[in-house]
Amino acid sequence: MSAFKKFFKNIIHDRDPKDDSVKVKGKPKYYGTVSPYPNFNASSDASVLQTAIESKGVDEDVIIAVLVKRDNEQRQKIKAVYAASTGENLDKDLKSALRSHLEDVSLALLMTPAHFDASQLRKATKGLGTDEEVLVEILATRSHEEIQEIKRVFKEEYSRDLEEVIQDETSGDFTSALLALLNTKKDDSAEVDIALARKDAEILFAVGENAEGFHMCTFIDILTTRSGPQLSKTFQQYACVSDLTLPKALEMELNGNIEDCLIDLVKCAWNTPAFFAEKLHLAMKGHGTCEDTLIRVLVSRSEVDLKRIVEEYGAMYEKTLQEDILSDTKGHFQKVLLELCGPH
Protein backbone atom coordinates (compact mmCIF):
# COMPACT_ATOMS: atom_id res chain seq x y z
CA MET A 1 0.00 0.00 0.00
CA SER A 2 1.42 3.39 -0.97
CA ALA A 3 2.03 6.06 1.65
CA PHE A 4 -0.81 8.09 0.21
CA LYS A 5 -3.29 5.20 0.38
CA LYS A 6 -2.30 4.63 3.99
CA PHE A 7 -2.89 8.30 4.67
CA PHE A 8 -6.46 8.14 3.37
CA LYS A 9 -7.34 4.68 4.68
CA ASN A 10 -8.55 5.62 8.16
CA ILE A 11 -8.86 9.40 8.39
CA ILE A 12 -12.09 10.35 10.12
CA HIS A 13 -13.40 12.60 7.38
CA ASP A 14 -12.41 14.54 4.32
CA ARG A 15 -12.35 18.29 4.73
CA ASP A 16 -15.87 19.63 5.17
CA PRO A 17 -16.14 23.12 3.71
CA LYS A 18 -18.77 24.01 6.29
CA ASP A 19 -16.72 22.77 9.22
CA ASP A 20 -14.30 25.71 9.27
CA SER A 21 -17.14 28.11 9.89
CA VAL A 22 -18.89 26.29 12.73
CA LYS A 23 -19.94 28.89 15.28
CA VAL A 24 -20.41 28.50 19.00
CA LYS A 25 -22.05 31.53 20.62
CA GLY A 26 -20.86 33.69 17.74
CA LYS A 27 -17.25 32.49 17.82
CA PRO A 28 -15.48 29.87 15.68
CA LYS A 29 -15.36 26.51 17.42
CA TYR A 30 -12.03 26.04 19.20
CA TYR A 31 -10.00 22.91 18.50
CA GLY A 32 -6.87 23.77 20.46
CA THR A 33 -5.80 21.86 23.56
CA VAL A 34 -4.34 24.89 25.37
CA SER A 35 -6.72 27.64 26.44
CA PRO A 36 -6.27 30.88 28.40
CA TYR A 37 -5.85 30.18 32.12
CA PRO A 38 -9.02 31.53 33.81
CA ASN A 39 -7.40 32.92 36.98
CA PHE A 40 -4.33 34.32 35.30
CA ASN A 41 -1.90 36.47 37.27
CA ALA A 42 1.35 37.22 35.45
CA SER A 43 3.12 38.49 38.60
CA SER A 44 2.24 35.38 40.56
CA ASP A 45 3.31 33.07 37.71
CA ALA A 46 6.60 34.92 37.24
CA SER A 47 7.32 34.55 40.97
CA VAL A 48 6.42 30.85 40.92
CA LEU A 49 8.72 30.24 37.96
CA GLN A 50 11.57 32.14 39.61
CA THR A 51 11.24 29.98 42.73
CA ALA A 52 11.07 26.78 40.66
CA ILE A 53 14.18 27.75 38.70
CA GLU A 54 16.16 28.74 41.80
CA SER A 55 15.06 25.81 43.95
CA LYS A 56 17.59 23.10 44.73
CA GLY A 57 17.50 20.66 41.83
CA VAL A 58 15.04 22.80 39.82
CA ASP A 59 11.32 22.04 40.08
CA GLU A 60 10.52 20.85 36.54
CA ASP A 61 6.97 19.83 37.48
CA VAL A 62 6.06 23.39 38.47
CA ILE A 63 7.68 24.85 35.35
CA ILE A 64 5.70 22.45 33.14
CA ALA A 65 2.44 23.16 34.99
CA VAL A 66 2.76 26.91 34.47
CA LEU A 67 3.91 26.86 30.84
CA VAL A 68 1.38 24.32 29.54
CA LYS A 69 -1.64 25.69 31.40
CA ARG A 70 -1.21 29.22 30.00
CA ASP A 71 -1.80 30.18 26.40
CA ASN A 72 0.84 31.94 24.33
CA GLU A 73 -0.45 35.44 25.00
CA GLN A 74 -0.31 34.81 28.74
CA ARG A 75 3.22 33.39 28.48
CA GLN A 76 4.37 36.59 26.76
CA LYS A 77 2.99 38.60 29.71
CA ILE A 78 4.77 36.31 32.17
CA LYS A 79 8.06 36.88 30.29
CA ALA A 80 7.61 40.64 30.46
CA VAL A 81 6.79 40.65 34.18
CA TYR A 82 9.65 38.25 34.93
CA ALA A 83 12.12 40.57 33.19
CA ALA A 84 10.73 43.63 34.98
CA SER A 85 10.73 42.03 38.44
CA THR A 86 14.01 40.07 38.32
CA GLY A 87 16.05 41.97 35.76
CA GLU A 88 16.70 38.64 34.08
CA ASN A 89 15.52 36.97 30.88
CA LEU A 90 13.13 34.04 31.48
CA ASP A 91 14.31 32.28 28.32
CA LYS A 92 17.94 32.42 29.43
CA ASP A 93 17.12 31.35 32.98
CA LEU A 94 15.15 28.33 31.74
CA LYS A 95 17.93 27.48 29.30
CA SER A 96 20.38 27.42 32.19
CA ALA A 97 18.06 25.46 34.49
CA LEU A 98 16.72 22.81 32.11
CA ARG A 99 18.35 20.20 29.92
CA SER A 100 17.84 18.37 26.64
CA HIS A 101 14.38 18.10 25.09
CA LEU A 102 12.55 19.58 28.08
CA GLU A 103 14.65 22.70 27.58
CA ASP A 104 13.77 22.73 23.86
CA VAL A 105 10.02 22.43 24.35
CA SER A 106 9.98 24.99 27.19
CA LEU A 107 11.82 27.57 25.09
CA ALA A 108 9.48 26.82 22.17
CA LEU A 109 6.45 27.52 24.36
CA LEU A 110 7.90 30.90 25.34
CA MET A 111 8.20 32.08 21.72
CA THR A 112 5.37 33.77 19.85
CA PRO A 113 4.04 31.56 17.03
CA ALA A 114 5.79 33.66 14.38
CA HIS A 115 9.12 33.58 16.24
CA PHE A 116 8.84 29.82 16.71
CA ASP A 117 8.06 29.24 13.02
CA ALA A 118 10.88 31.55 11.97
CA SER A 119 13.31 29.68 14.23
CA GLN A 120 12.21 26.35 12.74
CA LEU A 121 12.67 27.65 9.19
CA ARG A 122 16.11 28.96 10.13
CA LYS A 123 17.05 25.59 11.63
CA ALA A 124 15.78 23.81 8.50
CA THR A 125 17.98 25.90 6.20
CA LYS A 126 21.10 26.36 8.32
CA GLY A 127 24.27 24.28 8.05
CA LEU A 128 24.83 21.27 5.85
CA GLY A 129 21.70 20.04 4.09
CA THR A 130 18.17 21.43 4.13
CA ASP A 131 15.15 19.92 5.87
CA GLU A 132 12.71 20.22 2.97
CA GLU A 133 9.86 18.56 4.88
CA VAL A 134 9.88 21.26 7.55
CA LEU A 135 9.85 24.03 4.95
CA VAL A 136 6.79 22.54 3.25
CA GLU A 137 5.03 21.72 6.53
CA ILE A 138 5.20 25.28 7.82
CA LEU A 139 4.61 27.19 4.59
CA ALA A 140 1.74 24.94 3.46
CA THR A 141 -0.21 25.14 6.73
CA ARG A 142 0.05 28.79 7.75
CA SER A 143 -2.30 31.53 6.57
CA HIS A 144 -1.12 34.35 4.31
CA GLU A 145 -1.16 36.75 7.27
CA GLU A 146 0.84 34.33 9.41
CA ILE A 147 3.44 33.91 6.67
CA GLN A 148 3.82 37.68 6.31
CA GLU A 149 4.52 37.90 10.04
CA ILE A 150 6.97 34.99 9.86
CA LYS A 151 8.84 36.77 7.05
CA ARG A 152 9.00 39.97 9.09
CA VAL A 153 10.30 38.18 12.18
CA PHE A 154 12.80 36.14 10.15
CA LYS A 155 14.31 39.33 8.69
CA GLU A 156 14.37 40.95 12.13
CA GLU A 157 16.00 37.98 13.85
CA TYR A 158 18.43 36.76 11.18
CA SER A 159 19.05 39.87 9.04
CA ARG A 160 18.13 38.05 5.84
CA ASP A 161 14.99 37.77 3.76
CA LEU A 162 13.38 34.35 4.00
CA GLU A 163 12.91 34.33 0.20
CA GLU A 164 16.64 34.86 -0.26
CA VAL A 165 17.49 31.98 2.07
CA ILE A 166 15.09 29.63 0.30
CA GLN A 167 16.52 30.57 -3.09
CA ASP A 168 20.04 29.85 -1.79
CA GLU A 169 19.20 26.56 -0.08
CA THR A 170 16.80 24.94 -2.57
CA SER A 171 16.62 24.59 -6.34
CA GLY A 172 14.41 24.12 -9.38
CA ASP A 173 10.68 23.56 -9.23
CA PHE A 174 10.87 23.01 -5.48
CA THR A 175 12.14 26.56 -5.03
CA SER A 176 9.31 27.87 -7.22
CA ALA A 177 6.71 26.04 -5.13
CA LEU A 178 8.12 27.36 -1.84
CA LEU A 179 8.31 30.93 -3.14
CA ALA A 180 4.70 30.63 -4.32
CA LEU A 181 3.66 29.52 -0.84
CA LEU A 182 5.60 32.45 0.63
CA ASN A 183 4.24 35.16 -1.61
CA THR A 184 0.82 34.11 -2.92
CA LYS A 185 -2.30 35.18 -1.06
CA LYS A 186 -4.14 31.89 -0.81
CA ASP A 187 -7.92 31.98 -0.88
CA ASP A 188 -9.14 31.27 2.66
CA SER A 189 -12.85 31.15 1.89
CA ALA A 190 -14.94 28.15 2.93
CA GLU A 191 -17.12 28.61 -0.15
CA VAL A 192 -16.67 26.11 -2.99
CA ASP A 193 -17.03 26.97 -6.67
CA ILE A 194 -18.02 23.71 -8.39
CA ALA A 195 -17.50 25.13 -11.89
CA LEU A 196 -13.99 26.29 -10.98
CA ALA A 197 -13.20 22.90 -9.43
CA ARG A 198 -14.28 21.16 -12.62
CA LYS A 199 -12.25 23.59 -14.76
CA ASP A 200 -9.13 23.21 -12.55
CA ALA A 201 -9.42 19.42 -12.68
CA GLU A 202 -9.59 19.50 -16.47
CA ILE A 203 -6.60 21.85 -16.63
CA LEU A 204 -4.52 19.69 -14.28
CA PHE A 205 -5.33 16.61 -16.34
CA ALA A 206 -4.51 18.39 -19.61
CA VAL A 207 -1.13 19.73 -18.43
CA GLY A 208 -0.21 16.67 -16.38
CA GLU A 209 -0.77 13.04 -17.26
CA ASN A 210 -2.41 13.90 -20.59
CA ALA A 211 0.47 16.13 -21.77
CA GLU A 212 3.80 15.28 -23.36
CA GLY A 213 5.57 17.48 -20.84
CA PHE A 214 4.46 18.12 -17.26
CA HIS A 215 3.50 21.81 -16.84
CA MET A 216 4.78 22.31 -13.31
CA CYS A 217 3.97 26.01 -13.06
CA THR A 218 0.25 25.31 -13.59
CA PHE A 219 0.19 22.72 -10.80
CA ILE A 220 2.05 25.04 -8.44
CA ASP A 221 -0.28 27.93 -9.27
CA ILE A 222 -3.50 25.98 -8.57
CA LEU A 223 -2.25 24.10 -5.50
CA THR A 224 -0.90 27.27 -3.84
CA THR A 225 -3.76 29.69 -4.55
CA ARG A 226 -6.97 27.71 -3.99
CA SER A 227 -8.47 27.15 -0.54
CA GLY A 228 -8.46 23.72 1.09
CA PRO A 229 -12.19 23.13 0.55
CA GLN A 230 -11.89 24.26 -3.07
CA LEU A 231 -8.95 21.92 -3.73
CA SER A 232 -10.80 19.01 -2.12
CA LYS A 233 -13.61 19.48 -4.62
CA THR A 234 -11.05 19.74 -7.44
CA PHE A 235 -9.54 16.40 -6.40
CA GLN A 236 -12.99 14.82 -6.51
CA GLN A 237 -13.62 16.30 -9.96
CA TYR A 238 -10.25 15.02 -11.17
CA ALA A 239 -11.51 11.47 -10.73
CA CYS A 240 -14.21 12.28 -13.32
CA VAL A 241 -11.69 13.15 -16.03
CA SER A 242 -8.97 10.62 -15.24
CA ASP A 243 -8.66 6.94 -14.39
CA LEU A 244 -6.16 7.96 -11.71
CA THR A 245 -6.48 9.97 -8.54
CA LEU A 246 -4.48 13.21 -8.60
CA PRO A 247 -2.01 11.97 -5.95
CA LYS A 248 -1.37 8.81 -8.00
CA ALA A 249 -0.83 10.92 -11.12
CA LEU A 250 1.68 13.07 -9.21
CA GLU A 251 3.51 9.95 -7.99
CA MET A 252 3.80 8.67 -11.56
CA GLU A 253 4.88 11.97 -13.13
CA LEU A 254 7.25 13.39 -10.53
CA ASN A 255 10.04 12.48 -8.16
CA GLY A 256 12.18 14.04 -5.47
CA ASN A 257 11.40 17.12 -3.38
CA ILE A 258 8.81 18.59 -5.72
CA GLU A 259 6.78 15.35 -5.68
CA ASP A 260 6.82 15.30 -1.88
CA CYS A 261 5.93 18.98 -1.80
CA LEU A 262 2.91 18.77 -4.11
CA ILE A 263 1.62 15.60 -2.44
CA ASP A 264 1.89 17.30 0.96
CA LEU A 265 -0.12 20.22 -0.44
CA VAL A 266 -2.81 17.73 -1.49
CA LYS A 267 -2.80 16.10 1.96
CA CYS A 268 -3.07 19.47 3.72
CA ALA A 269 -5.98 20.52 1.52
CA TRP A 270 -7.80 17.24 2.08
CA ASN A 271 -7.37 17.03 5.83
CA THR A 272 -4.83 19.18 7.67
CA PRO A 273 -5.18 17.45 11.09
CA ALA A 274 -4.60 14.06 9.41
CA PHE A 275 -1.50 15.52 7.73
CA PHE A 276 -0.09 16.42 11.15
CA ALA A 277 -1.18 13.10 12.68
CA GLU A 278 0.88 11.33 10.04
CA LYS A 279 3.86 13.58 10.84
CA LEU A 280 3.64 12.64 14.52
CA HIS A 281 3.27 8.94 13.73
CA LEU A 282 6.34 8.92 11.48
CA ALA A 283 8.30 10.76 14.18
CA MET A 284 7.76 7.80 16.55
CA LYS A 285 7.64 4.90 14.10
CA GLY A 286 10.41 2.29 14.18
CA HIS A 287 13.68 2.72 16.01
CA GLY A 288 14.42 6.14 17.38
CA THR A 289 12.22 9.18 17.88
CA CYS A 290 12.32 12.55 16.15
CA GLU A 291 11.83 14.79 19.17
CA ASP A 292 12.12 17.93 17.04
CA THR A 293 9.01 16.94 15.08
CA LEU A 294 7.04 16.15 18.25
CA ILE A 295 7.93 19.55 19.70
CA ARG A 296 7.30 21.47 16.48
CA VAL A 297 3.88 19.97 15.78
CA LEU A 298 2.52 19.83 19.33
CA VAL A 299 3.63 23.36 20.22
CA SER A 300 2.58 24.98 16.93
CA ARG A 301 -0.84 23.29 16.80
CA SER A 302 -1.71 23.42 20.52
CA GLU A 303 -3.82 26.55 20.02
CA VAL A 304 -5.02 25.67 16.51
CA ASP A 305 -6.29 22.13 15.91
CA LEU A 306 -4.47 19.69 18.19
CA LYS A 307 -7.76 18.19 19.43
CA ARG A 308 -8.55 17.20 15.85
CA ILE A 309 -5.03 15.88 15.31
CA VAL A 310 -5.38 13.64 18.38
CA GLU A 311 -8.73 12.34 17.04
CA GLU A 312 -7.34 11.64 13.56
CA TYR A 313 -4.30 9.90 15.05
CA GLY A 314 -6.46 7.42 16.91
CA ALA A 315 -8.55 6.68 13.82
CA MET A 316 -5.55 6.31 11.51
CA TYR A 317 -3.29 4.16 13.70
CA GLU A 318 -5.61 2.31 16.13
CA LYS A 319 -3.57 3.65 19.03
CA THR A 320 -3.91 6.98 20.73
CA LEU A 321 -1.26 9.64 20.30
CA GLN A 322 -0.79 9.62 24.07
CA GLU A 323 -0.09 5.86 24.05
CA ASP A 324 2.65 6.27 21.47
CA ILE A 325 4.16 9.21 23.37
CA LEU A 326 4.23 7.04 26.51
CA SER A 327 6.04 4.31 24.57
CA ASP A 328 8.55 6.57 22.83
CA THR A 329 9.49 9.25 25.36
CA LYS A 330 10.25 9.47 29.05
CA GLY A 331 10.59 11.72 32.07
CA HIS A 332 9.57 15.35 32.15
CA PHE A 333 9.74 15.61 28.37
CA GLN A 334 7.07 12.93 28.14
CA LYS A 335 5.00 14.74 30.75
CA VAL A 336 5.01 18.09 28.92
CA LEU A 337 4.07 16.44 25.61
CA LEU A 338 1.16 14.59 27.24
CA GLU A 339 -0.01 17.81 28.89
CA LEU A 340 0.02 19.56 25.50
CA CYS A 341 -2.19 16.80 24.05
CA GLY A 342 -4.94 17.72 26.49
CA PRO A 343 -7.20 15.46 28.57
CA HIS A 344 -7.16 11.81 27.52
What digits encode the pLDDT tens for the residues 144-156? 999 999 999 999 9
59 CB contacts (<8 Å, ≥6 apart)? 51, 52
* DSSP-assigned letters across all residues of 148-176: HHHHHHHHHHHSS-HHHHHHHH--HHHHH
Q: How far apart (Å, rounded) are the C-alpha atoms in residues 66 and 79? A: 12
What digits encode the pLDDT tens for the residues 217-244? 999 999 999 999 999 999 999 999 999 9
Q: Which domain holds residue 170?
A: 113-183
Q: What is the mean pLDDT of residues 44-64?
A: 95
* Same-domain pairing of 94 and 119: no
pLDDT of residue 3: 55
pLDDT of residue 26: 59
pLDDT of residue 284: 97
pLDDT range class, residue 23, cuts 50, 70, 90: very low
What digits encode the pLDDT tens for the residues 70-108? 999 999 999 999 999 999 999 999 999 999 999 999 999
- Alpha helices (H) along 184-305: 194-207, 216-225, 228-241, 246-253, 256-270, 272-284, 291-301
Does a structural domain hold residue 31? Answer: no
pLDDT of residue 24: 45
pLDDT of residue 180: 97
The amino acid at residue 160 is R
In the chain, what percentage of residues exceed pLDDT 70? Answer: 92
Q: How far apart (Å, rounded) are the C-alpha atoms in residues 76 and 96? A: 19
* Same-domain pairing of 250 and 233: yes
Residues listed for the chain: 344
* Same-domain pairing of 147 and 94: no
108 CB contacts (<8 Å, ≥6 apart)? 116, 295, 296, 299
Q: Which of 221, 237, 270 is the last residue of a domain?
A: 270
pLDDT of residue 212: 76
CATH number at residue 71: 1.10.220.10
State the total domains in the chain.
4
Q: What is the mean pLDDT of residues 116-141?
A: 95
Q: Which of 239, 270, 301 is the last residue of a domain?
A: 270
pLDDT range class, residue 186, cuts 50, 70, 90: confident
Q: How far apart (Å, rounded) are the C-alpha atoms in residues 53 and 283? A: 30
Instruction: Please name every residue paired with 27 in a beta bridge, in sequence order, or none if there are none.
Output: 24
**Nearest alpha carbon to residue 247 among 14, 16, 10, 3:** 3
> Helices 60-68 and 100-110: crossing angle, nearest 10°?
30
